[in-house]
Structures are given as structure tokens and as C-alpha cells.
Amino acid sequence: MSRISKVERSEVTPDMAALFDKIYAQRGNVPNMFRTMAHRPEIFSTMMAHFSAVLNTGTVSTKLKELIIVRTSQINVTPYCLASHTILARGLGWTDDQLNNLSAWQTREDFTPAEKAAIRLAETVTRDSNNLSDEQFAELKSFYSDGEIVELLCSIGLFNYFNRFNNALRMEPTKPGEGGCSAPEPSTAPAEAIASC
């Protein structure tokens, strides 16, 4: 059971409700982590903007970003993030075999050398970022531009943050439909909450 409560849509400001609705429209739920972050709206809204920028901008494919997010979350043993990002990675084209056996990436022939360099980066930075050697960095530079290395590191760093947040709070995986707008009973809900649903 999660250690702290999740904020319901009916409890947030109109601006936050609009963000909840946007997330719900994209994902079919509002993840428990997001609803927990909503205890501090300023952190929640800026975190969502950063999350979107990391995953949806730049020239590194979302497919590769999701692969290294899964590897980062595997190393950190974060069931919460793995529950959603394994599904997302699968939807982007990674196979169950690749994802379930990702720790054996070095011996697999179904990852390109560039993908292997990104997975290696995820492992190194997640385990001890001080161990990123000049040799490993030179390997990265042979495949990726400076901006792409920033994208990879931001994806890895963001999920090390998310993994630790969710592990510390024992966050439960989000079920489909959770966190959306379900109008409360008229007798118990403020009129504005009903009108906005």
C-alpha cells in the first residue's frame, strides 16, 4: 500500500484539473505517482513539463528512451515504473524477450551497437555515475551528438528520480481508468466540481 495519499481530481484547482484531464486523455488514467505529486502543484506541473520535454522532444527516438527507462527501472527494482514503461516499450516495438532479458544485452544480436551503448550508459549512470569512463564516453560520442547524449542522460536521470520517489513511497501500479473525472454524488460535491466533470 502506498505510504501517502493520492490527490483526486475533485480536490485540485481548475488548472490542475485541466492537467489531470490532459494526462487522462493521453494515457487512460492519471498515474498514482502524478496524483501523489499533486500534493505540491508547483512541483507536479513543472515535473510534467520536464517529463514531456525529456520523452517527446529531441532526436533520440522515444523507442530508445523507453528501452533505457526500462533498464534503469530494472536496476532500481521499481515495480511501479516497470508496470507502465514495459508496456510502453512493448508498444513501441521492443519484444517481450528483449525486455525480459535486457540484462543480457551485451550478448544479444538484436540490439544495435548504438542501442547497446545507450543501455550501457543507463547501467553505468544508475549504478554509479562517477564510473562513466573516458572510454565509454568516447563510445557514446561515436554514435550520438552532444544533444543526444543530453537526451539520454536526462531520460536516465529522470527515471532514477522517479524510481527512488516511487520506491520510497511504495507506490502501487495504476489501474486503467484511475484518476480520471468521475463526478461525485451531487449531495456531496461542490457545484463547480460537478460542472467541470
The model's pLDDT over 130-189, given as tens digits with 9 standing for 90+, comes to 999 999 999 999 999 999 999 999 999 999 999 999 999 999 999 889 988 753 333 333
Give the per-residue pLDDT at 182.
55
pLDDT at 191 over 60: no
pLDDT at 196 over 90: no
Q: How far apart are the first and last CA of the chain?
A: 28
The pTM score is 0.89
* Cell 456531496 found at: 188
Give the per-residue pLDDT at 1.
83
What's the residue count for the chain? 197
The model's pLDDT over 7-27, given as tens digits with 9 standing for 90+, comes to 999 999 999 999 999 999 988
C-alpha cell recorded at residue 82: 516497470
Give the per-residue pLDDT at 180.
84
pLDDT at 194 over 60: no
Give the per-residue pLDDT at 185.
34
Phi, psi of 93 (to 5 degrees): 120, -5
The model's pLDDT over 104-118, given as tens digits with 9 standing for 90+, comes to 999 999 999 999 999
The model's pLDDT over 61-88, given as tens digits with 9 standing for 90+, comes to 999 999 999 999 999 999 999 999 999 9
Give the per-residue pLDDT at 110.
97
**In terms of Cα–Cα distance, which of 8, 13, 3 is closest to 35?**
8
Euclidean distance between CA atoms 118 and 122, whole angstroms: 6
Q: For 18-54, give one letter per residue: b (16+ CB within 10 A) or e.
A: ebbbebbeebebbbbbbbbbbeeeeebeebbeeeeeb
Give the per-residue pLDDT at 169.
97
pLDDT at 95 over 90: yes
**In terms of Cα–Cα distance, which of 107, 38, 118, 30 is closest to 70?**
118
pLDDT at 192 over 60: no
Euclidean distance between CA atoms 34 and 29, whole angstroms: 10
